[in-house]
Copies of this chain bind each other. A is one copy, B any other.
Amino acid sequence: MGLTKTEIFTEEQNQLATMLKAMAHPARIAILQSIIKANSCICGDLVDELGLAQPTISQHLRELKNAGIIQGTIEGVKVCYCIEPKAWNLLAKEMNVFFNSYQDPKGCC
């Protein structure tokens, strides 16, 4: 097989999984941290900052963009990436709800 059975899960579960999957790679975490640290866009500086080839960075950026986490704007020859506030804040809220839905044990295991 090799393909997830998305049809048996809720829309929320699938969407959350998609967002988390987009973040679940050290390179993409590093990219997000870089973008946030710069407090604004970042472009091909990422290729220098991280030790990955340009096509690889480009591919990671596309995945983050496809997930809706970042957005890219063309600025002349360069491209400027930044966080998509809506998606970021929504994900933050959802994860917060998820984490807080668990309260320490009440007798088990």
A85 to B, closest residue via Cβ: B104
Quick check: B73 and A102 within 8 Å, CB to CB? no
B residues less than 8 Å from A66 (CB atoms): none
B residues less than 8 Å from A26 (CB atoms): 4, 6, 9, 13-14, 16-17
B residues less than 8 Å from A104 (CB atoms): 85
Which single member of B36, B39, B109 contacts A73 (CB below 8 Å)? B109
- What is the interface size of chain A, counting residues whose CB is below 8 A from a CB of the partner? 51
Which residues of A from 1 to 22 have beta carbons under 8 Å from B?
4-6, 8-9, 13-14, 16-17, 20-21
Which single member of B71, B81, B99 contacts A91 (CB below 8 Å)? B99
Bound-state Cα–Cα, A101 to B4, Å: 32
A54 at the B interface (CB under 8 A): no
Q: Mark A88-103, 1 if CB is under 8 A from B, else 0.
A: 1001100110111110
